[in-house]
Structure 1
Amino acid sequence: MNLNRLCMTGLIGCAALLLLTAPRINASTPGPQPAGFGQDRDDWQRPPDAWNDMQRRGFHDGIEGAQKDFGNHRRPDVDNRDEYRRPDVPAQFWGAYREGFRRGYDVGMSHLTGANDWRMRAPERPWDAPPNEFDQLRRQGFQDGIEGARKDFDNHRRPDVNNREEYRHPHLPPEQREAYRDGFRHGYQVAVDHMMGGHDHDRDDHDHHR
């Protein structure tokens, strides 16, 4: 009899202990979380991992510049940003800073407008918008050609598309290279004309640059 009473007392004690600790367990255990919870929601603002500090600084400043232009309803054009034209960094870092700034501006404007092809949808077509008839491969070449011309301009090189390694040897399958180069040539020449003369171009006149 004493043994049964002892067992019963033990069971009651265990049950009481479980009841006392249950709220603490529930309080410390998080419930189901929505998909994506805890992930970086501003990942689009993250510059490429391989970039140096100056490129990263330019990237973040470029995003901020895009936000200012968008918020003030200005025509989107990275060349209109004073901090891009005259960076507040030592002259030897201008190229790296501008490269980051251009990319950040483009990423920021794409995010704000909700379109990767924001140039095509802008109320006033920017000078660096690819021609409407270009396919995706030529558009990529066009934008890379603009980037190549800007690098040559920043580094005071003689403008010559044939000096760009990415034009001569694009990392693409052989059957895609000519279309990419066609777009690259167009973009390079448009950028050279823009930076040298500072005027926009009629897209119907691009063929004479080939």
Structure 2
Amino acid sequence: MNLNKLQITALIGCAAFVLLSAPRIYAATSGPQPVGFGQDRDDWQRPPDAWNDVQRRGFHDGIEGARKDFENHRRPDVDNRDEYRHPGAPPPMWAAYREGFRRGYDVGMSHLTGATDWRMRAPDRPWDAPPNEFDQLRRQGFQDGIEGARKDFDNHRRPDVENRDEYRHPHLLPEQREAYRDGFRRGYQGGIDHMMGGHDHDRDHY
């Protein structure tokens, strides 16, 4: 008789434990998961899949450059990074490395400051910050224009925005091209002026 009572008591205790635990288990597993749950938290550090090894290395170096500038409270400016101005790669690979570096630096600063438009929010606006009134297409054109100027400068080509294929034939819908070109022209001119330090282009470099 005593044995039966002990068995019944044990069964009741187990049942109570299961019932009390069930809501907690349900609460822990049900309901919508936070955005990004189960995803790679470092996905923002992943370069585009189509890039080559040199561009990817530049991208990762750019993120590290942004992190160093941010942690040391330096004014954000990709041109102040030695590894950007003097890439540790053969000269024919400089353009690809710098393209990746600039993108990585921009992504790194955006992540660290929590602002996709970090250039516009910086107290001391970098020279490569697009005008506030630019829309997204013009901003993209502006950044691409700076890269085009950098490539022409590195390759000792005479500065002429009309010689840039990405300006003449942007891979955009026809109704988007004029806005992109407007930004590209401004970025290209700003890039040339910055790299030449305001001097006469033909005399000093070309």
Q: Normalised by the size of structure 2, how large is the TM-score?
A: 0.76
Q: Are 1:145 and 2:145 an aligned pair?
A: yes
| Cα distance in structure 1, aligned partners of 2:55 and 2:171 | 23
Whole-Å separation in 2 of the counterparts to 1:99 and 1:172: 20
Q: CA RMSD in A?
A: 1.9
Counterpart in the other structure of 1:119 = 119
CA–CA distance in 2 between the matches of 1:98 and 1:80? 13
Mapped to 2, the partners of 1:37 and 1:134 lie a distance apart of 34
How far 1:179 sits from its partner (Å)?
1.8
| CA deviations over 1:82-139 (Å, ceiling 9, x no partner) | 1111122233322221111111101101111111111000110000111122222222
Structure 1 residue 198 displacement after superposition: 6.4
Equivalent position SS for 2:49: coil
Any unmatched runs of 5+ in structure 2? 1-27, 200-206
Report the alpha carbon displacement of residue 46 of structure 1 after superposing the two structures with TM: 0.3
Distance of 1:135 and 1:95 partners within structure 2: 26
* Alignment match, 1:6: none
User: 3-state DSSP class of the match of 2:97?
Assistant: helix
Please state how far the C-alpha of 1:79 moved relative to its aligned partner: 0.3
Given that residues 70 and 76 in structure 1 are in contact (C-alpha distance below 8 angstroms), is that contact kept between their aligned partners in structure 2? yes
Alignment correspondent of 2:82: 82
Secondary structure at 1:70's aligned position in 2?
Answer: helix
Q: Which residue pairs with 1:56 in the alignment?
A: 56
Partner of 1:110: 110
Where do 5+ consecutive residues of structure 1 fail to align?
1-30, 200-210
SS at match of 2:159: coil
1:172 is matched with: 172
Q: CA deviation at 1:55?
A: 1.0
- The 5 Å alignment of 1:15-34 reads 32=29, 34=33
How many residue pairs align between the two structures? 169
Whole-angstrom distance in 2 between the partners of 1:107 and 1:55? 14
Distance 1:198 1:71, change over 3 A: farther
- Say yes or no: does 1:72 pair with 2:72: yes
SS at match of 1:67: helix
The residue aligned with 1:161 is 161
Shift of 1:182: 1.2
% identical equivalent positions = 86
DSSP-derived class of the 1:157 partner: coil
* One-letter amino acid of the counterpart of residue 144, structure 2: D
Q: What SS does the corresponding residue of 2:88 show, helix, strand or coil?
A: coil
Amino acid at match of 1:56: R
Cα deviation 1:132-173 (Å, max 9, x = unaligned)? 222222222211111211122223322110011111112222
Q: Determine the structure 2 residue equivalent to 1:40.
A: 40
